[in-house]
Structure 1
């Protein structure tokens, strides 16, 4: 059975663990130096950073379960600025599943929950960033009704990575 619920402050350790695990699985190869990856994860998934977002009324963490096992999550930020259009809307900042739990319809069901939360928060737009080279994710988002509305580039010591902005009206 697949279920989704909003994360609570008491879920901080679970959010941290699945966040680090899924980030390594999906993006670990983008980092040339393991110590830089570890520094990023330590900051992005620090207890203080997660506690702040779990308490923030403009951030919604959703946890996805298969039976009683946590298999995925999403993070939605409301009233977030979409740079190409200079409008505000709901930003789907993260939506990830553990390896082996993709391709079974769970992404669709979690996305529907994200979209519903955005509508409940009276957001007019749902938007996200996706790597230009991640064509599988782009196809998934296009099936959900999003389309490319701009582009940017993330530059770090690792190099530059092209990113598409995708959005849809709600």
Structure 2
């Protein structure tokens, strides 16, 4: 089935709310030690009010991937500073697919769409974060020419995890 990638608007906030929680839990719930911290994280990222605000932000775009129904999404911030560096560029905040779509080529199609959009806006730097435990995503982005540019810690009340910043820049700073 053909994958369609379309820009999300305010009418899609319920779809993003549902997909965000469903897909994130399917891929990453096992990494969380506290169910309440996971719930708080999901509410902060995919709550209806948060999505409404994000969908209204001119510096942010959400994209929905669909075949017969929505199967994934991407969030892009068009101008974001790479923390602790003098670089800024397009940040691919999220690129998530339903587990049944993983490995289907849909992620590549979505990533290529983001790269095309960044090039059209003449934005030379593209960067993103990947959990250190997410080896599959690391391989995916490395295969597309992205390189680890730094490591940063992410902390909650009960745990810490390392996130890797990937990009086409050349900053290197390890914190993990």
TM-score by length of 2: 0.90
**Partner residue, 1:26:** 27
Deviations 1:116-149 (A, max 9, x none): 1222232120000111221111110011110011
Residues 37, 156 of structure 2: 8 Å contact kept = no
Aligned to 1:144: 144
The unaligned stretches of length 5 or more in structure 1 are: none
- Which residue is 1:14 aligned to? 15
Q: Are positions 1:38 and 2:42 aligned together?
A: no
Cα distance in structure 1, aligned partners of 2:164 and 2:41? 22
Deviation string, structure 1 residues 54-80 (Cα, Å, up to 9, x no partner): 1111101111012x3100100000110
Relative to structure 2, which stretch is displaced further, 145-154 or 24-33? 24-33
> 3-state SS of the aligned residue for 1:43?
helix
User: Number of paired residues?
Assistant: 168
Q: Is the 8 A contact 1:3 1:65 kept in 2?
A: yes
The structure where strand makes up a greater share of residues is 1
For 1:93 and 1:2, the matched residues in 2 are separated by 21
1:84–1:150: 8 Å Cα contact kept in structure 2? Answer: no
CA distance in 2, matches of 1:159, 1:39: 14
- C-alpha separation in 2, matches of 1:70 and 1:6: 12
Q: Which residue of 2 aligns with 1:100?
A: 100
Structure 2: runs of 5+ lacking an equivalent: 170-176
In 2, the alpha carbon distance for the partners of 1:10 and 1:111 equals 23
Moved over 4 A (4+): none
Partner of 2:72: 72
Shift in Å at residue 84 of structure 1? Answer: 4.6
Equivalent position of 1:163 in the other structure: 163
